[in-house]
Chain A
Amino acid sequence: MTLVYPGLLGKPILIVSVEDLLSGNRFLFPMLLDTGADETCFPAKYAPFLGHSNLAPGVRKKRCRGVGGISIAYIHSVQLSLLDPAKSKKSHQVVAWTARAKVASFVQKLDIDRGLLGIDIVKRWKSVCIENGIKGMQIRIRL
Chain B
Amino acid sequence: MKYYNELIANIGRSMKAHPRSTVLMDADSFRIIAVAKDPKKLTGKFKRALAGRGHTVVFKQPDERAVWILATGSAL
Q: Which residues of A contact B (CB under 8 A)?
A: 5-6, 8-9, 15, 23, 25-30, 34, 36-39, 41, 45-46, 48-49, 51, 62-67, 83, 85-86, 88-91, 93, 107, 110, 112-114, 116, 118
Contacting pair B12 A85 (CB below 8 A):
no
CB distance from A54 to the nearest CB of B (A): 13
Contacting pair A83 B72 (CB below 8 A):
no
A-B interface contact total, Cβ < 8 Å: 126
Contacting pair B70 A91 (CB below 8 A):
no
| Contacts A/B (CB < 8 Å), 11 sampled | A9-B62, A15-B4, A15-B7, A28-B7, A28-B55, A46-B39, A49-B42, A88-B4, A90-B29, A91-B55, A93-B3
Tell me the dominant secondary structure on chain B's binding face. mixed
Contacting pair B12 A28 (CB below 8 A):
no
Q: Which of B42-76 contact A (CB under 8 A)?
A: 42-43, 46-47, 50-51, 54-62, 66-73, 75-76
Chain B residues with Cβ below 8 Å from A89 are: 3
CB distance from A96 to the nearest CB of B (A): 11
